[in-house]
Amino acid sequence: MSRPGYISAVDRNTQPISLWRGETLSRVTLPMGSHVVVPPEPQEANNNLRDIARRAVMEPTAHGLLQERFQPDTKLVLVVRGSHEFGYTLQRDIRRYLVEEVLEIAANQGVDDARILVARGTHGRLDDQQLRSMLGNRIVDSFVPHGLLHQHNIDDESFLEDVGLTSGNFPVNRWLSEATCVVVVDLANSAPGDDDPLWGLFGAPVYRSALQNMLPCSRSELAAALSASCNAHYLVALHNGQVLPKPLAFSMKRDFSGIDTLLSQSASALSNLISSRLARGVHRRLAAQPGICAIATGDREGVAEAIAQHRMSQSSVPLDQPYDIVSIGVSPNAATRTGSPIDPILAAHDALSHAAPFVRDGGVIIFHHDFEAEFDPSLHVASADYYAEVLRAQRSAEEATNHLVPHFASDVWYRNLYANTYAFHGLYPLELMDSIHTVQRRVKQVIGVGSNPVVARDFGFRPSSTLNDALELARESLSISDPSFLHVHNPPSVTAL
């Protein structure tokens, strides 16, 4: 049984803490009397991925064994998530083993119509290396040349079909409706908030409606309806939150040894010496290997419940009451591809979404990031334009909803890039900004420590050069002389219980 997470008070003996500012690491001394989240100890993981996958696939569920679903005339569609939530390349990906096991069982049952569908929603296409990293060379080389692996395109109407989920037009990838058996293979994140992978298989109108709050139900309900309509079988593994590569793992530890402190000091000193660009080059060469601590199989609800329970014990920290001020860093895996810049939208989204569970309504979030207006030119073209044309131009959020959603959704250039390159969809920055605005509306102020002042102001944040200055600003803003202050580690992802 791993030790649970808790909130610790900062005293004289508390050492400066390691803090990720995106690609670079720094050390911050927290003020006396403040609090810091001590994350739960990572759960024990089984590293024999082949074994885990084999056992999971063979495990009986309430609806029987998975192999019983396969007949020689079965049209099998395997759905994998095509989003870039890990940032780092995984050394070994459980999804590859799960997909291989499912395909092997299916082949044994005489199934010869098997396809793989990458559910990417508004995310960019996975490149060859990402696909190979996730699914392995054998699968990629067998499926891709024959057109049996398809990366869903939310704009490709020739590939969309309305399956009549609820009232209204909800086009989804037509492979789903053509399939007689749908198996969803996923590696769930340690923190809650992941959508069902099936959410990434709808057509663009659904994402537009979601942004404009015009869906008749929640995203989760819509995904559940889709899951039910195609009777999807889920194979979901949960990793133990150790999302950083081994050389950087010291920064996620709850108890620092002497060596860890030395590593932290060295990494912090090095970060001061090298540029973000060089730091990105270092990150690009690293791969992560989170351990698999749980796996669930069966129908959507059962799997979701099992995963939620595991998550709770692994990544939640008990919280008596939300804090007035919450400080948080930006994880290096906030990048959608290691080596690409963590632009301000990604950084703000990462920091705010992880800080939100700990801060009270009307409180203050302090994040630590350079916040330079540097965007990945091949992935985040729309984000760069959103910043230049909306945030820089100080256009209102209402306009973003009413005018920009249709504009960014239907822009021919973004659609073309999304379809033919690795660029994210025009709606992607709006999705992130929607989430940022939701948190922003809840709190009184967001302060960026060490952030580019111009960019921070463009987001409606306040820039500050040091944590102490930020705390002073926060006190002023809250009009409280002694507000409660909590610092949250990021990564690993933790949430309040």
| Backbone phi, psi, residue 34, to 5° | -80, 175
Stretch that binds another protein, among 123-131, 203-211, 460-468, 484-492 (CB under 8 A): 123-131
Considering only residues 468-497, where is the footprint of another protein by CB under 8 A? none
Please tell me whether residue 160 binds another protein under the rule CB under 8 A. Answer: no
Give CA separation, 383 vs 86, 317, 343, 386, 487, in Å: 19, 33, 9, 5, 29
For position 461 contacting another protein by CB under 8 A, the verdict is no
Question: Which part of the chain contacts another protein (CB under 8 A), choosing from 22-30, 172-180, 293-301, 370-378?
Answer: 370-378
If one asks whether residue 374 binds another protein (CB under 8 A), the answer comes out as: yes
Q: Is 301 a residue that touches another protein (CB under 8 A)?
A: no
Half-sphere exposure for 87 (CA within 13 Å, toward CB): 28
Kindly tell me the burial class for residue 489, based on how many C-beta atoms sit within 10 Å of its own C-beta (0-12, 13-18, 19 or more): buried
Residue 292 lies near another protein (rule: CB under 8 A): no
- The reply on whether position 384 binds another protein by CB under 8 A is yes
Neighbour-count burial for 383-408, b at 16+ CB within 10 Å, e otherwise? bbbbbeebbeeeeeeeebbeebbebb
Closest alpha carbon to 350 in 370, 367, 362, 363: 367
Nearer to another protein, 132 or 489 (CB): 132
Burial of residue 300 (CB within 10 Å: 0-12, 13-18, 19+) is buried
Shortest distance, CB of residue 275 to another protein, whole angstroms?
8
Q: What is the spatial distance between Cα 43 and Cα 54, in angstroms, rounded to a whole number?
A: 21
Comparison of 269 and 388: residue with beta carbon closer to another protein: 388
> Which among 237, 273, 287, 226 has a CA at the least distance from the CA of 57?
237
- Binding another protein (rule: CB under 8 A), the pick from 29, 220, 416, 468 is 416
Does 439 interact with another protein (rule: CB under 8 A)? no
Backbone phi, then psi, for 258, in 5-degree steps?
Answer: -60, -40
Shortest Cβ distance from residue 163 to another protein (Å)? 24
Rounded least distance, CB 335 to another protein, Å = 12
- Does 138 sit near another protein (CB under 8 A)? no
Residue 251 and residue 244: Cα distance in Å, rounded? 9
Structural contact between residues 98 and 53, judged by C-beta atoms closer than 8 angstroms: yes
Residue 310 binds to another protein (criterion: CB under 8 A):
no
SS3 360: strand
Please, which residue, 177 or 421, has the CB nearer to another protein?
421
Size of the site for another protein (CB under 8 A): 36
Looking at the Cβ atoms of 90 and 165, the one nearer to another protein is 90
**Contact with another protein (CB under 8 A): which of 156, 162, 195, 385?**
385
Min dist. Cβ of residue 286 to another protein (A): 17
> At its nearest, how many Å lie between another protein and the CB of residue 93?
16
Q: How far is CA 434 from the centre of its chain?
A: 15
CA gap 59, 374 in Å, rounded: 47
187 beta partners = 237
Which residues between 239 and 258 bind another protein (CB under 8 A)?
Answer: none
117: helix, strand or coil: strand
Residues 28, 45, 65, 144: which binds another protein (CB under 8 A)?
144
Contact stretch for another protein (CB under 8 A) within 6-14, 17-25, 162-170, 378-386: 378-386
Binding residues for another protein, per CB under 8 A? Answer: 125, 127-129, 131-132, 140-141, 144-145, 149-151, 275, 277, 280-281, 341, 374-378, 381, 384-385, 388-389, 412-413, 416-417, 420-423
